[in-house]
Chains A and B, each alone.
Chain A
Amino acid sequence: MSLYPELSFNVDHGYLEGLVRGLKAGILTRSDYHNLAQCDTLEDMKLHLQSTDYGSLLTAGNEDLTVSLIDHRLKENILTEFRCLRSHSLPPLSTFLDYITYSYMIDNVVMLITGALKQRDVAELLPRCHPLGMFDQMAAVGIARTPAELYSAILVDTPLALFFQDAVSEANLDEMGAEIIRNKLYKAYLEAFYKFCQESGGATKNIMCPILEFEADRRAFIITVNSFGTDLSGVGRSALYPSCGRLYPEGLRLLARAEDYEQVKAVADYYPDYKLIFDEPEAGSSRTLEDRFFEREVKLNTLAFLEQFHLGVFYSYLKLKEQEARNIIWIAECVTQRQKSKIDNYIPIF
């Protein structure tokens, strides 16, 4: 690591950073959302999106316009942009971008395992995997019977092998086990990514660490909330909490002991940022806890664009774009299901 990474940053990543900042300018604004929310049919939405950076994304092809088609096109769009960035990138940016894809790979693996447990056909499952997390050996995941087999036979060649050390066990795979594998993998993944960002230093560290800390804490909260009513014990839970968040170590210990939602809320009260999230929303707003977490995430990600010469913009851009896709899908769903009252529940970005 050189003394002033800003000096040489543009040599390797200047073009891509410029590109991603240009792409960021195409993210839909509040007025775009406002216009979209006024639409009565998907055709109207299509007309509106035409005047944005999406251009003729939805007009190509003459299939009937459905929400799933929009979803598919949006995902494809993100994928194209990401592939373009990835194929032009140099280390350390390429490693950084690979790290981003690992989280999707984890999700895909777990989805394939649960799919295989339910005796689904692989050919039916594959198209439902997130395209950013595709890898060669993916198709064979369903064959494995135990996590150990999964690791030693299939995932050992993939980048995910690094995260697998804690998750190896001889127990048979079941649905609960798959969930636990997901969380263990995620824990290892987040910690590794956090370490990578910390080692990068400079602005990358300043930007990415808060985002990843938040991500880790969000997982800890959600694991805790979701574990109520299952047979996952406090000890079992604490093995799943990522240890790179702001909750570590005291907050995590408290969370492990929590028995109901009120106690989780009490833990969050110690942290001003999370207190805001857990506070009762004002009357009339129908935001769920998840929505408020997303809102906070969007806020953190928009901050990334305030600094230059760091890799965080790539992560943030991808996440914001995903949020945008979620927003558009939400609006589209509301439009097709005639739920105009809920249409404003999207999370505006800029």
Chain B
Amino acid sequence: MRLTLRALISHGRVARKMGLGPESRINMLRNLLTGLVRHERIETTTARADEVRFYAEKLVDYAKRGDTDEKAMKMASFWLTEKDLVPKLFNVLAPRFETHSKGYTRMARLPNRDNLDRAKMAVLEYKGNPFPPLYPVKKDNELTLINQLLRGYREDRAQQLATKA
């Protein structure tokens, strides 16, 4: 190829480089994906989590085809290094996301890693996992004075509407 300046400037190049090369990148993503399928929630650097996300969703799309499908089984056995997770993928994760068309994963930022590198961390999870939610829902206390007064008001209005109708 021509040894132009274009090869050195990376404007607009969206594909990430990870590890020692493309094969190393795929191996790293494979390990991350296996961990994700086993534990359903993992913590890594933001870039790796972002990369794995695409493959995680594609894997679930393949799993939805069913384990009788040749291609789906090949994909699953390639991407999952621990073979006891292949039945989990087809029997647990695929039925869970039957009604969803896309968006099987959720990513949230974490505080930077405590090491010297201060790397940007993220947590990646499959939706519907058994752990407590990443963004806890804060419910207003129903028993405070103002909420009790409002409850009485709402009941009163409902009663009035019922008698009017």
Say whether A and B bind each other.
Answer: no
Q: Which residues of A contact B (CB under 8 A)?
A: none
Q: Which residues of B contact A (CB under 8 A)?
A: none
